[in-house]
Amino acid sequence: MEMKTVNATNLRAIGYDSARRVLVVQQSSGTFEFANVSSDVWRRFSQSGNVSSFYRDNIEEEFVKKRIK
C-alpha cells in the first residue's frame, strides 16, 4: 500500500487498500488500521484541506481502530 505523507498535527501518513477497504493512519503514537472504510471517505480524507479535522470528525469516532505498529 502506498502511504501519502501529510503535514498535520499528530498525523504523519495515510494510506488506503481499496480491495480490503482498509484505511491506515500513521500517527506519532503508532500506526492504526480502520476497517470498512469506503473509497468515498478515503477520497474526501486524502483530498481534505485539513486532514486533522477530517480525521477527528469523520474517521476517529466512526470506525473501529486497531493498532498494527
Residue 39: predicted pLDDT: 96
For residues 10-18, average pLDDT: 95
pTM to 2 decimal places: 0.90
pLDDT over 90 (residue 9): no
Task: Give pLDDT tens digits for 36-54.
Answer: 999 999 999 999 989 999 9
Do the beta carbons of residue 45 and residue 27 sit within 8 Å?
Answer: no
For residues 12-18, average pLDDT: 96
Reduced to 3 states, what is the DSSP secondary structure of residue 66?
Answer: strand
Q: How does the average pLDDT of the chain come out, rounded?
A: 93
